[in-house]
C-alpha cells in the first residue's frame, strides 16, 4: 500500500508516519529526515540543502526527488511523509500510483502553539513533543529544538506551504484518493482516525 501524508508544518505528519510504519509494517520515507541526514553528513549537496532548510524554503527538487526515488526503489508499499510538497513534485511521482493521500488539516494558530514544545533527537532524527510525545529520560540531555522551528522560519515555512503545498490537496482531491483528518486534537486521537482510514482501505 502506498500512502502520502500531507499537511502544514507541525501538523504531526512525522509522528503519524512513524506510528503507521510500526503498526502496519510500512516503510516510512520522510523527505525532511532524508534531507537532514544529508546535511548532517556535510556533503556538498548537504551544504547546499542546509541553506534552504534554514530559511524554511523548499530544497531544490532534483535533490529531493532523487533521494526519495532511491529510497522507494522497487518497494511495493510505503508512507511518504513530506513528499510531494508541490503540484510539480506530485506530477513527477504520478506513475507510482499512490493508493491513499491523508491530509492532516489544522489551523496555523494551533500549529504555532505546538511548535514551542517540539524537540528532535539529533542522533536518530526522531521527533518528540515535551507535552504530547515526551522523549525518554535517557535522551533528555541531548534533545534539541530544530533550527527551522524558530518563529521567523516557521512563518516562512507557512508562506511556502500555502503557496506550494496547499494546492497539492486539491490535486489529490480531484483524483478521488484524498481523505481529510482533523489534526487539531491530541496526537493519539488523530492517529486513531488515521488508523481507521488505513484499515478501512485495506478491507476494500
Ligand atoms: P519537514 O521535516 O517535513 O518539516 O521538512 C523540513 C524542511 O525540509 C522543509 O522546510 C524544506 O526545507 C525541506 N523539505 C522537506 N520535504 C521537502 C520536499 N518534498 N521538497 C523540498 N524541500 C523539502
* 57 pLDDT higher than 90: yes
> Which residue's alpha carbon is at the smallest distance from atom 10 of ligand 1?
56
Q: What is the pLDDT of residues 77-109, one digit of tens each?
A: 999 999 999 999 999 999 999 999 999 999 998
State yes or no: pLDDT of 113 exceeds 90. Answer: no
pLDDT for the residue numbered 151: 86
| Residue 64 CA to ligand 1 centre (angstroms) | 9
Q: Is the pLDDT of residue 73 over 90?
A: no
- Answer yes or no: is pLDDT of 115 > 90: no
Dihedrals phi, psi of 78, to nearest 5 degrees: -170, 170
Residue 30: which pLDDT band, with cuts at 50, 70 and 90? Answer: very high
- pLDDT exceeds 90 at position 116: no
Cα-based torsion angle of the residue sequence 106, 108, 109, 111 in order, rounded to the nearest 10 degrees: 70
148-184: per-residue pLDDT in tens?
A: 888 889 999 999 999 999 999 999 999 999 999 999 9
Residue 3 pLDDT more than 90? yes
pLDDT band at 204 (very low <50, low <70, confident <90, very high): confident
Question: Ligand 1 test: best mutation among 13, 31, 106, most atoms within 8 Å of CB?
Answer: 31
- How remote is the CA of residue 53 from the centroid of ligand 1, in Å? 7
Give residue 129 CA to ligand 1 midpoint distance, Å. Answer: 19
Instruction: Tell me, in angstroms, the distance from the centre of ligand 1 to residue 31's CA.
Output: 6
- Res 76: pLDDT: 87
Q: What percentage of the chain reaches a pLDDT higher than 90?
A: 83
> Given a cut of 90, is residue 1 above it in pLDDT?
yes
Q: What is the mean pLDDT of the chain?
A: 94
Span 115-123, mean pLDDT?
Answer: 92
**Pocket of ligand 1 from Cβ distances under 6 Å:** 9, 31-32, 35, 52-53, 56-59, 64, 82-83, 85, 89, 148, 157
Residue 188: predicted pLDDT: 92
Q: Please write the tens of the pLDDT for every residue from 39-49.
A: 999 999 999 99
Amino acid at each position: 500500500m502506498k500512502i502520502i501524508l500531507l499537511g502544514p508544518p507541525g501538523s504531526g505528519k512525522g509522528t503519524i508516519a512513524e506510528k503507521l510504519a510500526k503498526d502496519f509494517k510500512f516503510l516510512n520515507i520522510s523527505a525532511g529526515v532524508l534531507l537532514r541526514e544529508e546535511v548532517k553528513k556535510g556533503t556538498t549537496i548537504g551544504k547546499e540543502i542546509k541553506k534552504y532548510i534554514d530559511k524554511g524554503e523548499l530544497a531544490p527538487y532534483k535533490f529531493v526527488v532523487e533521494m526519495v526515488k532511491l529510497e522507494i526503489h522497487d518497494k511495493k508499499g510505503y508512507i511518504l511523509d513530506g513528499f510531494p510538497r508541490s503540484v510539480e513534485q506530485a506530477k513527477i511521482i504520478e506513475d507510482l500510483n499512490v493508493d491513499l493521500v491523508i491530509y492532516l488539516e489544522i489551523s496555523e494558530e494551533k500549529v504555532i502553539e505546538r511548535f514551542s514544545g517540539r524537540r528532535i533527537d539529533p542522533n536518530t532524527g526522531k521527533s518528540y513533543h515535551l507535552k504530547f510525545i515526551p522523549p525518554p529520560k535517557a535522551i533528555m540531555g541531548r534533545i534539541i529544538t530544530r533550527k527551522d522551528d524558530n518563529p521567523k522560519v516557521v512563518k516562512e515555512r507557512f508562506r511556502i506551504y500555502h503557496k506550494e503545498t496547499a494546492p497539492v490537496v486539491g490535486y489529490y482531491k480531484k483524483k478521488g484518493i484524498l481523505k481529510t483528518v482533523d489534526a487539531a486534537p491530541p496526537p493519539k486521537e488523530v492517529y486513531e482516525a488515521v488508523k481507521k482510514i488505513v484499515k478501512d482501505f485495506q478491507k476494500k
